[in-house]
Structure 1
Amino acid sequence: MTDRRSFIKGAGAIGGVALTSGCIGEFGSKPYGDGTLTFVMSPTEPQEYMESQYQPVKEYLGEQVADDVTVELQYAKNYSAVLRALGEGNAELAETGPFAAALGVKGEQCEIALQRHAYGSWDYYSVIVTQEDSDISEPADLKGKDIAFADTTSASGSLYPLYMLQQAGLDIGEGPLSDEGADFNATWSGHAQAFESLMEGQVDAAGVGRFITWNYEKGDYKEGVAEVDRVSGIPRAPIVASPELDDEKQDMLVSAFEEAPDSMYYGADGEEGTDDDLWFDGVREANLETYQPVIDVANDLGIEAELLDEA
């Protein structure tokens, strides 16, 4: 297998901002000023569901910007598309995964602005799961099996599951680019799709963020799901900004998010505790150093940012 060392050698203080308040002015793409602020959603959940979740974010930001500015939500095909939109100046803000954000900073496609908080913590889990009637009980049992992963640049749905498999002694081959040379058969899609593939019996296991597998009311996995392995302590996903966005606008957007009312998190129905609530309930200022644990795992796997351009 090709040597794929040196993903990111170190983390600098990128994306830190000073907080100010005031009306956010003109936005737009190529160049800014067409009167549009675009917020991109990563494909962690089905599009219709995420649009419902983020509708209050769109409305809230619309209240913060100038009267002649329109706020748009866009749903990206994958994490790479999120980074391209930001890097090419076709979007101002995005919610994305930790690994994708680190890649985006490395490739000068985004700047990390905020970290999200959810379920009482600033970090979360990656899991490999199977069906509860399976004879798979540990990662080593997955040799020769079919595994569904989330997007190639997902931390919890690709990077960390591959790390668990490697730690168990399995060869991950060219993962996450392909399963060539791997000790298992792999497909990459999204968290929801990967989990659905498992539950429909199309694969033997899924490597995903635990959030897609978890019943929060019960405090346990959803019915029919069994854990194979997990990693905790992954910094929760960031909100990132386009490098084309000037400092003043980024400062104002960060301030707007930090000062947002609770109602911004309640989804399109405006009611707390319903199905369309956002998965997170707060934000704090962040930078690349916040995501150093993710970078370290990428380095351990020998993943270079340039290779993921092929994904």
Structure 2
Amino acid sequence: MSNRREFLELLGVAGAAGLAGCTGGSGGESTDAPTSTPGGASTEAATATETSTPVPFNDGRLTFYMSPSEPQQLMESQYEPVKSRFEEQLGVTAQLQYAAGYSAALQSLASGTGDVGETGPFAAALGVANDRCEIVLQRYGYGSWTYASVIVTQEDSDIESLSDLAGERVAFADRLSASGALYPLYMMKQAGLAIGDLPTDTGDADFTPQFSSHAEAFAALERGQVAAAGVGQFITLDDNRELKDGFRYVETEDGIPRAPVIVSPELSDEEQQAVTNAMLEASESMYLGADGEADTDDDLWFSDVREATNETYQPVVEVANELEITTELLDG
């Protein structure tokens, strides 16, 4: 990888606001996040006055980019109430766009063709460092504001430790995924495996990587096409939140801040804050999908949001810095 610089230095170039970006023009420096409860809006937001003045988005349209973590039709159903919420609160015509990947979503936000998006922590951190997005919210799901990355193998596999992956094929999610690329590679490097210039370049590693999505990486492991998969723990769990039968974890890294909601840097401070408030002040119904019923397939995976700060995603920055990753990965 040419012209490498420490990731934290790149964040300094991105602006004094640092990693978390602007939350409506305040600079995002406050560390006092609203008190939140699972399954609904924050306590602070519950008493807030609903936004009623339409915001003058460029052409009266708001485009929300969904990361391709699940099939398109399912995600469109999951995010339908989010779309409706923006239309009701902001006085715009909203549309959902299924992104080809994290980079595609970030590029759309950077150019102003997209307005709001959901993405992973690592992609968002790189996007902020390269002026492609601003982080405004963090999401809450499965009882926590954090989650885990795992390297998982089949239960009857010969892989007992990460060092056993030398010479093997390993599946990962998107190159810009925190739990599906950044943290698995970090765990492997800490175990003494050479990772070369991954996740940018695929050569010079002690193993053969393949990148796709969380679902496809785990499916490749299920099919026996790879020795292990580095993915978000969520994709390995059954309906009871237990590891699926036939698999076991080789290594786990927890405490990763859950994924953010990001906005285009082309939006005004007023527009960014309006988007933030629309989600902060939403009722539980926004999280229940198109059918409006709890505990069905189209429920969103998260059940609350809170404003993010610069410090929220600092653990991700530190791991990226350890791997000497720069924003050129966005153009790879």
Counterpart secondary structure, 2:313? helix
Amino acid at match of 2:81: P
After TM superposition, what 4+ stretches of structure 1 lie above 6 angstroms from structure 2? none
Deviation at 1:23, TM superposition (A): 2.8
- Range with greater deviation from structure 2 (101-110 or 39-48): 39-48
Q: Secondary structure at the match of 1:221?
A: coil
Aligned-pair identity (%)? 55
The answer to which of 121-130 and 46-55 deviates more is 46-55
Q: In 2, distance between residues paired with 1:99 and 1:107?
A: 12
* Correspondence 1:43 to 2:68: yes
Amino acid at match of 2:307: E
User: Is residue 172 of structure 1 aligned with residue 192 of structure 2?
Assistant: no
Gap runs ≥5 in structure 1: none
1:99 corresponds to 2:122: yes
Aligned partners of 1:5 and 1:248: how far apart in 2?
Answer: 34
**1:233 maps onto 2:263 in alignment:** no
SS of structure 2 residue aligned to 1:220? coil
CA distance in 2, matches of 1:201, 1:23: 55
Equivalent residue for 1:26, pick from 56, 64, 79: 56
Residues in 2 aligned to 1:13 and 1:102: alpha-carbon distance in whole angstroms: 8
Equivalent in the alignment of 1:281: 303
How do residues 208-227 of structure 1 correspond to structure 2 at under 5 angstroms?
208-217=231-240, 219-227=241-249
Tell me if the contact between 2:122 and 2:316 (Cα under 8 Å) persists in the aligned partners: yes
User: Conserved in 2, the CA contact under 8 Å of 1:177 and 1:310?
Assistant: no
After TM superposition, the score normalised by the length of structure 1 is 0.92
RMSD: 1.7
262-271 or 163-172: bigger deviation: 262-271
Q: Which moved more, 1:47-56 or 1:79-88?
A: 47-56
In 1, are the aligned partners of 2:146 and 2:254 still within 8 Å (CA)? yes
In structure 2, the CA distance between the partners of 1:13 and 1:157, relative to structure 1 (3 Å rule), is closer
Count of aligned residue pairs for this structure pair: 302
Residue number among 71, 82, 87 corresponding to 1:62 in the alignment: 87
Q: Identify if the C-alpha distance between structure 1 residues 4 and 132 changes in structure 2 by more than 3 Å, giving closer, same or farther.
A: farther
Query: Do structure 1's residue 302 and structure 2's residue 324 form an aligned pair?
Result: yes
1:13 Cα deviation (Å)? 5.9
SS at match of 1:173: coil
2:311 & 2:293 partners in 1: Cα distance? 35
- 1:173 is displaced (CA, Å) by 1.0
- 1:63 and 1:22 mapped to 2: Cα distance? 9
Deviation at 1:24, TM superposition (A): 3.0
SS in structure 2 opposite 1:256?
helix
Residue 149 in structure 1 maps to residue 179 in structure 2: no
User: What's the secondary structure of 1:182's corresponding residue?
Assistant: coil
The aligned counterpart of 2:23 is: 16
* Structure-2 separation of matches of 1:155 and 1:13: 16
Which string of whole-angstrom CA distances, capped at 9 and with x for unpartnered residues, describes residues 139-177 of structure 1?
111111111111111100000000010011000012102
For 2:163, what is the secondary structure of its paired residue? helix
Aligned-residue offset at 1:133: 1.5
Q: 1:108 to 1:196 in 2, by over 3 A?
A: same
